[in-house]
Structure 1
Amino acid sequence: MELRALEALVQVLRCGGFTAAADRMETTQPTVSKLVAQLERELGQPLLRRDTRPPVATDAGRLVLTHAEPMLLAAANIRAGLSDLSLAQGGELRIGIPPLGPQLFVPLMHAFKLRHPGIELKLFEDGSKAIEAAMLAGELELGGLLAPLDERRFEHIMLIDDRLALLAPARSRWSRRPVVRLAELAEESLILFLAPYMLNERIEEACRQCGFVPDIAGRSGQIGFIQELVRSGVGVALLPRSELRHLGAEDFSISALVEPQIPWRIDVAWLRGAYLSHAARAWLEVVRAERGVRAG
C-alpha cells in the first residue's frame, strides 16, 4: 500500500474533488484518479462514491481514511525529523497564512526574523480549509485557522478574537448607522471571499438564520480588492473590524454588525502528535512571547 495512493484519497476527500487534489499534490487529475483506483483494486473495495459532487467516502473509504491520516502524519514526522537533524539553526518553516492574516502575521514574522535570521519562512496563502488540508497532508507544520478548531486534531494559540463589521461606501444609506442588524442587509448585494473559504459559510449560514439568502455581487481572495469593490459601489462586505481600522471615512462607512454578531477568531495551530521542527518550535516561542501566552 503506497503512501502516495493514500495521500491521493485523503486529498480528494479533504479538497472536495480530483482536480483540487491534483493541484494540492502538484500532479495531474488523471494521476490522482489512477492512484485512487490503484488503492481500490489493492483493497478490493470502492473507496469513493463518484456519483456525487463533491465525491464522498464509502464505508470502506471512511475506514481507510481514519488509518491513512495517522500514517501520512507519521511519514511527515519522519521526514521532518531527519531534515531537522541537519539544519542546526538554519532551515525553513512552512506556515499557512489565511487571506485576512497579513496584519496578524507580519508583526510576528518581523519578530521571528530578528531572533532567527537564518530560518527561511515559506508561506502558503489560502483559506482555512486549504490550510487545514495541507497540514493534515504533512505539507505545513503550522497554520492560521479560523476557530473553533477540532480539538482532537489540533493544538492552538489564539492570535485574535474579533467580530465582523459592515463595510459600505461612504455615501450610502449606512453612513450614519453605527450599528446594523444582519436582517437589514437582505436587499443588499454582498461581496464575499472565494467559494472554498470557511468565512463565507459562516456569513451565508447567519443570513439563512435571519430568513434570507444573500445576493452575491462578486467574490475575491484579496481583501484589498474587496475593499475597492465596496468603495466603487459594487456592493457591501462583512469583514473583521480589525482589518478596517486603517480605512478612511471619506471613502467608507463602517458599522458594527449585530443580531447576530458573527465571530472571527484566528488561531495559530499545529497537529496533535506531529513532530515540530526547531523552526516551528521557535515560531511558537515568538507567538507566546508576543501574545503573552505561557507555554503549556
Structure 2
Amino acid sequence: MDIRQLSYFVEVARLKSFTKASQTLLVSQPSISKTIKNLEDELGVLMLNRSEKEVELTDAGHLVYEQALHIMQSMKDLSLSIHELVQVKRGKVVMGLMPTVGALLFPQIIVGFKSQYPGIDIQMVEYSAKHLEVQVNDGHIDFGVTVLPVDTGLYGTFSLLKEDLVAIVDSQHWLASKESVDLKELEEELFILFSKEFALYDVVIQACWQAGFEPRVVHMSSMWDLVCEMVASQQGISLIPRSMASRLKHLPIHTAAITSPAMVWELALIYRRNQYLSYASREFIAYIQTHLPNQSL
C-alpha cells in the first residue's frame, strides 16, 4: 500500500467515477483502475461496487476511505511542517551562555530575532566556560558563547567581543588614585578570583605567572556579584573584563587598566564541527553575525 494508491482511490470515491477521477488526476482510466484493483487484492477486500451506473463504496470501502483521508491529511501536514522547518518558520535553539554574558550581549539580539522568527523557540542555559564546551561537544546544546581559546579542531568559532581585563579595587585602596597599573605591582595583593571551572581563572593565573609571581588567592566564587561585592568590602582585588567593570557604578569600586602584560578576554560563539546544526540554529547564528559584529571595548 502506498500514498499513490490511496490518492487514486479517494478521488474515485469522492467523484464516484473512474472517468472523472482520470480527468482530475491527469492519469489514464485503465491505470487508475489497475492501481485500485491492486490495492483491493493487497487488502483482500472489495472496496468499490462497479456494477452500478455510479461507483459506490462497499462497507470495506467506506472504512478505507475514512482512514485514507486521515493518512493523506497527515501527509499534507508533514509536508507543511517540513516546509516550515526548512523555511525557518518554526524550530528550537538551545544556546549555552556563561553567567552575565547573556545580559551583556544578547537582549536586543533575541528581541530582534524573535520578532522576525516568532515560531522559533530560543532556550538559554548557563554554564561556566569549561562546562559549556563539554555541553557543546556532547550535543546537549546547539552552540555556546565562551572564552577563547578553544580546540579549533573540535569547534567552529567566530569572535563576538574582544576586550581587556582591568583591576577592580575598593574606593579606599592605594590603587584607587591610579588609572593604570603594571600587573607586577599587584604581587602583594590578595586576589578574589572566579572559580577554577571559569576560563577567566586560567587567564588571570597565567598572566600573573607571566608577570613573575603566584597570586595570593584568598577567595574564589562562581558568582560575579559576590566577587564584586567582596572587592567593594575591602576583602581583596580582582581582575575582570572591562565591560563587566562598567556595570559596577552602584558599588564603591575603582577600575584601573593593566598596562603589562596585555590581558585580553575574547568571547566567541562555538559549535561542534561535523555535527548537524538545525535550520533554526543556523539562522540564529547568521542573525547574530549580522546584527552583532565583532566588537572591541
Both proteins in one fold, TM over 0.5: yes
> Residues 20-69 of structure 1, C-alpha deviation per residue, up to 9 Å, x if partnerless?
xxxxxxxxxxxxxxxxxxxxxxxxxxxxxxxxxxxxxxxxxxxxxxxxxx
Q: Which residue of 2 aligns with 1:222?
A: 223
Residue 248 of structure 1 and its aligned partner are, at CA, apart by 2.3
Query: 1 CA distance for matches of 2:185 and 2:82?
Result: 58
Residue 209 of structure 1 and its aligned partner are, at CA, apart by 2.3
Q: Which residue of 1 aligns with 2:278?
A: 277
| Distance change in 2, residues 1:190/1:282 (3 Å) | same
Does the CA-based 8 Å contact 1:98-1:127 persist in structure 2?
yes
Q: TM-score, normalised by structure 1?
A: 0.66
Does the CA-based 8 Å contact 2:232-2:251 persist in structure 1?
no
Does the CA-based 8 Å contact 2:95-2:143 persist in structure 1?
yes
Residue 149 of structure 1 and its aligned partner are, at CA, apart by 2.8
Query: 2 CA distance for matches of 1:100 and 1:180?
Result: 26
Aligned length: 210
Q: Which residue of 2 aligns with 1:291?
A: 292
Q: TM-score, normalised by structure 2?
A: 0.66
- Counterpart of 1:144, as a letter, is V
Is 1:147 aligned to residue 148 of structure 2? yes
**Equivalent runs, 1:130-279 vs 2, <5 Å:** 130-248=131-249, 251-279=252-280
Q: Which residue of 1 aligns with 2:127?
A: 126
Query: 2 CA distance for matches of 1:250 and 1:212?
Result: 29
- Counterpart of 1:212, as a letter, is F
Residue 173 of structure 1 and its aligned partner are, at CA, apart by 0.5
Does the CA-based 8 Å contact 1:161-1:265 persist in structure 2?
yes
Residue 231 of structure 1 and its aligned partner are, at CA, apart by 1.1
Query: 2 CA distance for matches of 1:156 and 1:113?
Result: 23
Does the CA-based 8 Å contact 2:143-2:270 persist in structure 1?
yes
**Equivalent runs, 1:61-100 vs 2, <5 Å:** 85=82, 88=85, 89-100=89-100
Does the CA-based 8 Å contact 1:141-1:270 persist in structure 2?
yes
Query: 2 CA distance for matches of 1:139 and 1:249?
Result: 37
Residue 86 of structure 1 and its aligned partner are, at CA, apart by 9.2
Residue 105 of structure 1 and its aligned partner are, at CA, apart by 2.5
SS at match of 1:174: helix
Query: 2 CA distance for matches of 1:153 and 1:87?
Result: 31
What is the identity percentage for the equivalent residue pairs of Structure 1 and Structure 2?
A: 26
Query: 1 CA distance for matches of 2:151 and 2:118?
Result: 33
Does the CA-based 8 Å contact 1:111-1:286 persist in structure 2?
no
RMSD, matched Cα? 2.1
Query: 2 CA distance for matches of 1:265 and 1:257?
Result: 16
Query: 2 CA distance for matches of 1:175 and 1:162?
Result: 21
SS at match of 1:205: helix
- Counterpart of 2:235, as a letter, is V
Residue 265 of structure 1 and its aligned partner are, at CA, apart by 0.3
**Equivalent runs, 1:20-31 vs 2, <5 Å:** none
Query: 2 CA distance for matches of 1:260 and 1:161?
Result: 16
Does the CA-based 8 Å contact 2:160-2:293 persist in structure 1?
no
Query: 2 CA distance for matches of 1:170 and 1:113?
Result: 42
* Unaligned runs of at least 5 residues, structure 2: 1-80
Residue 85 of structure 1 and its aligned partner are, at CA, apart by 5.0
Quick check: which has more Rg, 1 or 2? 2
Residue 292 of structure 1 and its aligned partner are, at CA, apart by 4.2
SS at match of 2:177: coil
